Amino acid sequence: MSRGLANCNPGNIRRSSSHYRGEVRPSRDPDFKQFESIEWGYRAIFVTLNTYRRKYGLRTIREMISRWAPPVENHTEAYIRAVTARTGFSADAVLDTRLRQQMVPLIAAMSEVENGVKADFRAVERGWELYVNAT
């Protein structure tokens, strides 16, 4: 099992001063956050990408992934290509972080890139429900 899935953190969100609902504190992982369930981990990704839109004006897969997985740590262009191939969305199409039909497939694709296995789509959808009902 990947580290992200073991931590119920399918986006591999690093430890930071930001706190999320459902987060296990303190994390027992020295580098990454841990969540109570995979659904709370998915919710954290939705929250983070919405923050990218609101705070930084990032609205495309290319913009969001470039911040999420910067080139100093990742092969960002390969990550973008993998996500666009899995979602069918253009890397430069404007997405709305408030639309389920765009965000659930995006987060499922990001989880697959992060963890090397297909995301449980039902868990991603439950994460979406936590996001829209608990923000």
Helix axes 76-87, 100-115, angle to 10 degrees: 130
β-pair partners for 97: none
Q: Which alpha helices (H) appear in 92-134, and where do they start and end?
A: 100-115, 121-133
Cβ proximity of 120 and 9 under 8 Å: no
- Calculate what percentage of the chain has a pLDDT beyond 70: 99
**50, 49, 47, 41: which is closest to 124 by C-alpha?**
41
| pLDDT tens digits, one per residue of 64-115 | 999 999 998 889 999 999 999 999 999 999 999 999 999 999 999 999 999 9
Q: Per-residue pLDDT for 134 more than 90?
A: no
pLDDT at position 74 = 87
**38, 5, 1: which is closest to 22 by C-alpha?**
38
